[in-house]
Structure 1
């Protein structure tokens, strides 16, 4: 589409998709005049309804396949032409069957137009922009829906059914001219490998049989042998196709062809079926419940326009905020279920009933559509290039099947024909509410749906207990209970989001800590070790304390220390020091020289930062295999503590100046101090965060005294006991704590 403005093409596609939404609205407004003129009876009405469902299902599948073979621009032009031709035949018809044939062709064209528009989305847009594009398209279609609904209700009485029927063919003709001008005439390059169909002929025939049975069931009778035969044949054929696919996969175990992602397709189809089911239930119930309260037809249409306003709001939200499928389902679908439940409690007054019904329609439209957009966008972005258009047909097919299933609900057909009473109304609305609630639990967070239902139910029971059933059943009280449920659902969702956010922070904290401070291994060389690190600030994972234990050709070497300062700069200093230690511990034979190299590294870092006060206390320890002593170099750090049968003792290790002051960079490195490590005793290396931990009275943690009480020479028990004990001593750490306990294996 080189040279064609993409904005113009997107507007063309949005207008074309709007035709598919406006067709049933205008058809419903003009059908009464056509039926009266041609004198069509129940037989013709049943045939028309069945033909519409079957033709649209067939058109969805064939248009998707055609778009994969010849490109969506061609299919768009062809199907717009079908709408023009079919509409012209219907408008000029002088016999009922000619009129029905024209309608059928127009329906097929509208289905193909929708498929072409869907197939174009992943072609014209990068995957990351599809959600915004779909949101903008939904907002545009919703605007057309609101305008079309309010025009359609007046068009038959003002202009007659033939003129009203000619509006969409005329609009399709204008769009066809625009498509001929804007879209390329050449065939788009197809996939290099011939793509297999998304569903084979057998599955397509099974779907057609199922739709025919579900459509005829409420129109004839569910006990009719024809209905039962169609449904049984559909199930048997689908099972046979599935068994054949499994057998072929076992016989030909080669690499599978690129297919439709099951998770993305399942979510989109579940959301689409819910949309189709709920839309039909809403369009069947709201007009009946409002007309029973004396609301005029114009105001009924105005109330139903609220559904389009909800769609508009959902499209704008999706366009400006990036919503995930889980978030949109967790928030949107429970709101839609609350709105459907509220329809049971409309006020008896006509004006207030129309106002509340309009608000409910806004809520239901927003909740349903805001849940659709992320699933549809993710589905379109994940489609394989070879079968992009055919696979995209699965979404409108699911909407169609959802509407067909809604017609199978007892009472829905009576409501659609205006003959339903309160029992049918209650059945359809509660079933729709239950379906939306179940899908909300499957696609969203179950805790949100359960919170909505539990809070609304408890509120109602509380009103019954306190004020009586008569007061609790009033519309205001019922709506208030549902509002409480919706608020509790939002609270539950917010709480769950916060919990997950904290879990992610904790996971990041652990990952950062393990990346900077490697876990101390339980056995290294001939030493048994246990390490523990506790940052003073929750959520940081790493502070200014550090430790490390490595196995080198010169023996087992340990490092523990504390950097001056806090925050990210202290973490950077820790990272530099540990990196230097991990590399130089293998290269430097003398432990004193290793300490000198760490000193020079920190001096260079201080000069690079211009920080003359940067330093770190550190203690280096080395154990050579086969000896019962360790060597220690102490650079301004706390001396190790020996814990053994004879009690707790501070080891005599002279303290040098801390690292970073340049004292070790002159002349030879310091001489390590040997320390005996007899069996049955342990050495404890620690930072000042342990010994300087304060309780609420300001007293320091009595480390020696508490070690005498613990009397644990095993490294694991020693460290675990100290960590728990200091936690009981202080209500809040003021400094990081790093511990290493070691003993001979």
Structure 2
């Protein structure tokens, strides 16, 4: 409005710049509150009157036409600001409810779980969403820790609902079942019931279940998921593969389809990274997959969360833009010494697998 006023005084009444004063309340209605828009509209009306009197435009219709234009734009701007404010309040309420639901579904993992230190990273492929079809959980149990990471086929609310089913079944079974295979069976039954109720026989969930015991080992149960990455203190990298590949959750129909547990050593200083295909299948501009096994140097930070954040930033930088799929990562570190293990767990015996 100041620029229009200066230009109008400089150019004179013959140019007809006075109606452009209405740009002030017009832009205010797009960005400000209705009160701010009304205030700027009042200033615009006063400025229009002043310039109209200075230019002598009220001797004819030009001055009244410009004044009517400013008044009309001000009223429209106030109405737009009121509608936009109502929509913003409704959106804020929906986001608050969504954030609460997201925190319930994907709860923060404990930074210290038994003899382990843990960190998690989640990046949703859906804009402004914190969760999608990927899932993870860490459950401390007597003698160790049980974890799960998985990837639901598809995206959107249906994928989130299926992820909630898997996590709910795992959280309950992890405390009740003495064997990891029993946990997997409980989760599989829950997924089968959910998918049968939806009448969709083509949906599935890839998942990797693991039990890390204080005895110095980790046992896996793999339902068609990418293998974990095991990093030794010497920076030697291992991707433990299952003895035989089995279908994902939701596609297991008989005893022959159930996965066999397999184990590896996991001692002080070792790191275990569980991830979804949003990480392993991330591609750069040339179509090359992300070289996860070559990025173990990023996990050298003493703080597991800082190390995982660095790895996540490297994945995003490698892709060169937003990720095309949900990406979840769960990092577990075995403490360097037994002195770091809480006393209440030091005397616990490892559960059977």
The alignment status of 1:351 with 2:59, answered yes or no, reads yes
Does structure 1 conserve the Cα–Cα contact (< 8 Å) formed by 2:276 and 2:327?
Answer: yes
Quote the offset at 1:742 in angstroms.
0.4
Relative to structure 1, the CA distance from residue 592 to residue 620 in structure 2 (aligned partners, 3 Å threshold; closer, same or farther) is same
5+ residue gaps, structure 1: 1-322, 375-489
Which of 308, 316, 329 aligns to 2:35? It is: 329
Corresponding residue number in structure 2 for 1:340: 46
* Pairs within 5 Å for 1:71-110: none
Contact conserved, 1:644 with 1:682, CA < 8 A, in 2?
Answer: yes
Q: Which of residues 236, 247, 268 in structure 2 aligns to 1:679?
A: 268
SS in 1 for 2:295: helix
Q: Please state how far the C-alpha of 1:717 moved relative to its aligned partner.
A: 3.8
Distance 1:554 1:661, change over 3 A: farther
Name the structure 1 match of 2:186.
Answer: 597
Q: Given the superposition, is the C-alpha separation of residues 608 and 355 from structure 1 closer, same or farther in structure 2, using an over 3 Å criterion?
A: same
Distance in 1 between residues matched to 2:98 and 2:45, nearest whole Å: 42
Whichever of the two has the greater Rg, that structure is 1
**Corresponding residue for 1:662?**
252
Distance 2:169 2:143 in 1: 17
- The 5 Å alignment of 1:520-669 reads 520-553=109-142, 555-624=144-213, 626-646=214-234, 647-654=236-243, 655-663=245-253, 666=255
- By how many angstroms is 1:660 displaced? 1.1
* In structure 2, distance between residues paired with 1:538 and 1:367: 34
105, 108, 131: which one aligns with 1:516: 105
Distance 1:350 1:679, change over 3 A: closer
Answer whether contact 1:558 1:621 (CA < 8 A) is retained.
yes
Q: Do the aligned partners of 2:223 and 2:259 also contact (CA within 8 Å) in 1?
A: no
Alpha-carbon displacement from aligned partner over 1:465-485 (angstroms, at most 9, x marks no partner): xxxxxxxxxxxxxxxxxxxxx
Change (3 A) 1:637 1:366: closer
Per the normalisation by structure 1, the TM-score is: 0.36
User: Could you say what secondary structure the match of 2:130 adopts?
Assistant: coil
Checking the alignment, whether the CA contact within 8 Å between 2:299 and 2:308 is kept in structure 1 is: no
From the superposition, tell whether residues 717 and 367 of structure 1 become closer, same or farther in structure 2 (CA, over 3 Å): closer
Question: In the alignment, which residue of structure 1 is the partner of 2:294?
Answer: 705
Structure 1 partner of 2:25: none
Please name the residue that 1:142 is paired with.
none
Q: Pick from 50, 56, 67: which aligns with 1:360?
A: 67
Deviations 1:673-692 (A, max 9, x none): 33211111201111111111
Q: Structure 2 unaligned segments of length 5 or more: list them.
A: 1-28, 336-353
Relative contact order (C-alpha < 8 Å, sep 6+): which is higher?
2
Moved over 4 A (4+): 361-371, 503-512, 667-671
Higher fraction of helix: 1
Contact 2:298 2:307 in 1 (8 A): yes
Write 1 or 2 for the structure with the bigger share of strand: 2
User: For 2:128 and 2:47, how far apart are their aligned partners in 1?
Assistant: 43
Distance 1:509 1:727, change over 3 A: farther
Q: How does 1:168-179 map to 2 (within 5 A)?
A: none
The equivalent residue for 2:346 is none
- Paired residue for 1:736? 326
**Aligned residues of 2:57 and 2:63 also touching (Cα < 8 A):** no
